[in-house]
Amino acid sequence: MRLSKRLSHIEPFYVMECAKAASELARSPVCDASQGGRPMIFLNIGEPDFTAPALVQEAAQRAIRDGNTQYTDAIGLQPLRERIARWYAQRFGLDIAPERIVVTAGASAALQLACLALIDPGDEVLLPDPSYPCNRHFVAAADGVAVLVPTGPADRFQLNAAAVLQAWNAKTRGVLLASPSNPTGTSIDPAEMGRIVDAVRARGGFTIVDEIYLGLSYDERYGDSALRHGDDVISVNSFSKYFNMTGWRLGWLVVPESLVTSVEKLAQNLFICPSAIAQHAAMACFEPDSLAEYERRRQAFRARRDFLVPALNALGLTVPVEPDGAFFAWADCSAHAAHLPGGSWDWTFDLMRRAQVAMTPGRDFGRHEPSRYVRLSYANSMTQLQQAMDRLKQAL
pLDDT tens profile 190-205: 999 999 999 999 999 9
CB 285 within 8 A of CB 118: no
Query: What is the rounded average pLDDT for all residues in the chain?
Result: 95
Cα distance from N-terminal residue to C-terminal residue, the chain: 48
Single pTM value for the model: 0.95
pLDDT at 16 (0 to 100): 78
pLDDT tens profile 23-62: 888 888 877 777 777 999 999 988 999 999 999 999 999 9
pLDDT at 57 (0 to 100): 98
Give per-residue burial for 93-109: e unless 16+ CB within 10 Å, then b. Answer: eeebebebbbbbbbbbb
Class of domain 54-287: alpha beta
Give the span between the Cα atoms of 365 and 184, in whole angstroms. 10
Superfamily name with CATH number, domain 5-51+290-395 = Aspartate Aminotransferase, domain 1 (3.90.1150.10)
What are the sequence ranges of the domains in the chain? 5-51+290-395, 54-287
Least confident of 3-12, 87-96, 164-173: 3-12
pLDDT tens profile 74-116: 999 999 999 999 999 999 999 999 999 999 999 999 999 999 9
If you count them, how many residues does the chain have?
A: 396
pLDDT tens profile 306-324: 999 999 999 999 999 999 9
Summarize the confidence of residues 145-174 as an average pLDDT: 98
Summarize the confidence of residues 371-388 as an average pLDDT: 97
Give the span between the Cα atoms of 277 and 218, in whole angstroms. 31
How far is Cα of residue 281 from the mean position of the Cα atoms in its chain?
A: 22
Summarize the confidence of residues 63-71 as an average pLDDT: 97
pLDDT tens profile 230-264: 999 999 999 999 999 999 999 999 999 999 999 99
Give the span between the Cα atoms of 274 and 267, in whole angstroms. 9
